[in-house]
Chains A and B, each alone.
Chain A
Amino acid sequence: EDKVVQSPLSLVVHEGDTVTLNCSYEVTNFRSLLWYKQEKKAPTFLFMLTSSGIEKKSGRLSSILDKKELFSILNITATQTGDSAVYLCAVATNAGKSTFGDGTTLTVKP
């Protein structure tokens, strides 16, 4: 059975801090790893990673995938209160199904 594990489950930081969120996975027929941000209801897409070692970057957020060790990290630098959310990691298989982790709840305090 496909499995995605995220850590930590929750994190409280202050504005300006840098955070690292972790995602490890065990899936068959890996296609891609995706990160989403969920604030209220609909998760919104952040990154899709398919190749090891290539960093994806968007503003203060960046992510990298290690297909040998089966994990990914999501970094957020200079955190802001607007970064407070649940961050979800999902792994998509070649068949198109995505398996999600339970998420990391990030709280950024002013």
Chain B
Amino acid sequence: DAGVTQSPTHLIKTRGQQVTLRCSPKSGHDTVSWYQQALGQGPQFIFQYYEEEERQRGNFPDRFSGHQFPNYSSELNVNALLLGDSALYLCASSLATGRIYGYTFGSGTRLTVV
């Protein structure tokens, strides 16, 4: 039973560029949430996707956008990268139905903006 898969594992981008991160949820999960974790801090909620729609959004600018596909996989896009966007980006999947909200996390994508 595959867990949550994220790609790539590491990424270096230049300020102003755009980046796309990918996530495949755990088998059977239908909800994907994205988190940004800066060094020494807890994960900060970016947004959550369910049924291919953004259901909730945290306090992140519109430069952060996402998508969920019919197979429940998801992408996180960040435009006009800033140095402050450097962080570990975690994808977490869960099952919306049945009201179970424990996440399964992927290993993350380490994004470095130079």
Q: Is the interface of B mostly helix, strand, loop or mixed?
A: strand
Q: Is the interface of A mostly helix, strand, loop or mixed?
A: strand
Residues of B contacting A44 in the complex (Cβ-Cβ under 8 angstroms): 105
Residues of B contacting A40 in the complex (Cβ-Cβ under 8 angstroms): 107
- For chain B, the bracket of interface size reads 20 to 34
* Interface stretch of the complex, out of A68-76, A77-85, A97-105: A97-105
Find out whether the CB atom of B107 lies under 8 angstroms from the CB atom of A102. no
Find out whether the CB atom of B90 lies under 8 angstroms from the CB atom of A88. no
Find out whether the CB atom of A31 lies under 8 angstroms from the CB atom of B44. no
Whether A34 contacts B102 in the complex (CB less than 8 A), given A41-B108, A95-B56, A97-B56, comes out as yes
Find out whether the CB atom of A99 lies under 8 angstroms from the CB atom of B41. no
Residues of B contacting A108 in the complex (Cβ-Cβ under 8 angstroms): none
Closest to B9 in A: A41
Nearest CB of chain B from residue A39's CB, rounded to whole Å: 11
Find out whether the CB atom of A98 lies under 8 angstroms from the CB atom of B33. yes
Residues of B contacting A41 in the complex (Cβ-Cβ under 8 angstroms): 88, 90, 107-108, 110
Interface residues, chain A, CB within 8 Å of chain B? 4, 6, 31-32, 34, 36, 40-45, 48, 88, 90, 92, 95-103
Interface residues, chain B, CB within 8 Å of chain A? 4, 31, 33, 35, 40-45, 48, 50, 55-56, 58, 88, 90, 92, 94, 96, 99, 101-108, 110
Known: A43-B105, A102-B40, A102-B42. 17 other contacts (CB 8 A): A32-B101, A41-B90, A42-B105, A43-B90, A48-B101, A48-B102, A96-B33, A96-B55, A96-B56, A96-B101, A97-B45, A97-B48, A97-B58, A100-B35, A100-B42, A100-B43, A100-B44
